[in-house]
Amino acid sequence: MIYLDNAATTKTAPEVVEAMLPYFTEYYGNAGSIYGLGSRSKKVIINAKEVIAETLGTDANEIYITAGGTESDNWALKAVYEAYQDKGRHIITTKIEHHAVLHTCEYLEKRGAQVTYLNVDENGVVDVEQLKKAIRPDTILISVMYANNEIGTLQPIREIGEIAAEHGVLFHTDAVQAYGQIPINVSECHIDLLSASGHKFNGPKGVGFLYINRKVRMHSFVHGGRQERGRRAGTENIPAIAGLAAAVKRAFHIMGEKTKKEIELRDYLITRIEQEISHIRLNGHRTKRLPGNVNFSFEAVESESALIMLDMQGICASGGSACTTGSLDPSHVLLAIGLSPELARASIRLTLSEDNTKEEIDIVVEELAKIVAKLRGMREDR
């Protein structure tokens, strides 16, 4: 199997699994207990927050453990809206956000929020001048993703953060695709809230975190016990939190070497596809993109068919569009960067890890070229 869908999820690293195992059967105490077994679990939480905080250049008291990126995005937007309605009800985001942000914004609009959805250019980059013009006296939050999950484009986060700070507006970034892949400093980028998810950088599924700057007024998101300083109730998932900490340590230890390798493979993959397959379009910024992200549209090719044929050859990839209600709808991201619905449905995303090799890339390009030629030939024969 050749796995090229690391934007969807990553393999849990062996050292992460090893870090988790003792907390299932040996050190299984509830972190809210006063005896030693529970205290050990409490230390796991404290350690995880310290490890995460160090990578962001912040304090452990500003890290809150969640069930992953979707919960973190929901918490950030809903809690800010609830807490800052005395100032205003206006939120600014983009048309290419993850649905965890877009659907939350739709939910808030039904409850009185006014949301501005910014356009992006053909590479998926936000126009900061348009952002400045969108800010109003009643704007309470700007939410712009650090890196796009489909096309890999990196946003000018520092510049956006500076604009938000100048106008006294809170700034949230969905960094689910970026955290653990590239360095992030919340202070330098004026980030007030940041979402991340463990399974995107070789950690376990079902655990992530939300960074909340201490200046931000936030109400409780999950009501019940006093966990997470009363803001997120529920017994903590200690094995997952131990795994999250191990994954964070691993990700930042290997980041330099990993990034270099993935960029080399990414650019090699892009070059080979462009040289060997005609009538294609690279989606996303050519250089200002995640190290391991490649997204192409192939004219006159349905991505669903191509993905099935790749799978038959043992190659795991994904489309630039998602299946909803049984039909293949064009990706909102690809439509936002100017693709036609037909071309948006002809997109394939190939996302790399440090485990991939040049030999694997050669195989993938060879098989992809055959599949594209076959599908185009079948289309012409109709």
Shared domain check, 156 and 278: no
Whether 245 and 178 share a structural domain: yes
List the CATH number of the domain containing 293. 3.90.1150.10
Same domain, 217 and 281: no
Residue pointed to by tokens 């452990």:
60
SS3 content of the chain, % helix, strand, coil (to 5): 45, 20, 35
Per-residue pLDDT at 327 = 45
Q: What is the CATH number of the domain that holds 174?
A: 3.40.640.10
Number of domains in the chain: 2
Distance CA 274, CA 321 (A): 21
235, 250, 265 - which closes a domain? 250
Flag whether 358 is in a domain. yes
- With a cut of 90, say whether residue 345 has pLDDT above it: yes
Residue 60: partners with Cβ closer than 8 Å, 6 or more residues away: 46, 49, 50, 52, 53
pTM score of the predicted model = 0.96
pLDDT at 324 over 90: no
Same domain, 64 and 128: yes
Q: Give dist(CA 288, CA 290) in Å, integer.
A: 7
Query: Residue written as tokens 């064009």?
Result: 330
pLDDT digits (tens, 9 = 90+) for 201-255: 999 999 999 999 999 998 889 999 989 988 999 999 999 999 999 999 999 999 9
Q: Which residue has the tokens 């795991």?
A: 316
Answer whether residue 356 is part of any domain. Answer: yes
Q: Is residue 379, in this structure, part of any structural domain at all?
A: no
Q: Nearest-CA neighbor of 124 among 154, 160, 159?
A: 154
Q: 353 in a domain, yes or no?
A: yes
Please check whether residues 203 and 301 belong to one and the same domain.
no
Pair (219, 317) in one structural domain: no
Which residue carries 């799978």 as its tokens? 311
Task: Supply the DSSP symbol for 179.
Answer: B
From 105, 189, 316, 323, active-site residue: 323
CB-CB neighbours of 11 under 10 Å: 12
Q: Are residues 359 and 265 in the same domain?
A: yes
pLDDT tens digit sequence for 36-90: 999 999 999 999 999 999 999 999 999 999 999 999 999 999 999 999 999 999 9
Contacts for 323 with CB less than 8 Å, ≥ 6 apart: 329
For the segment 179-194, the average pLDDT, to the nearest whole number, is: 98
Mean pLDDT of 310-325: 77
Tokens of 340: 């036609």
- Beta bridge pairs of residue 170: 141
Its domain, for residue 279, covers 2-6+255-372
Our answer to whether residue 323 is catalytic in this structure is yes
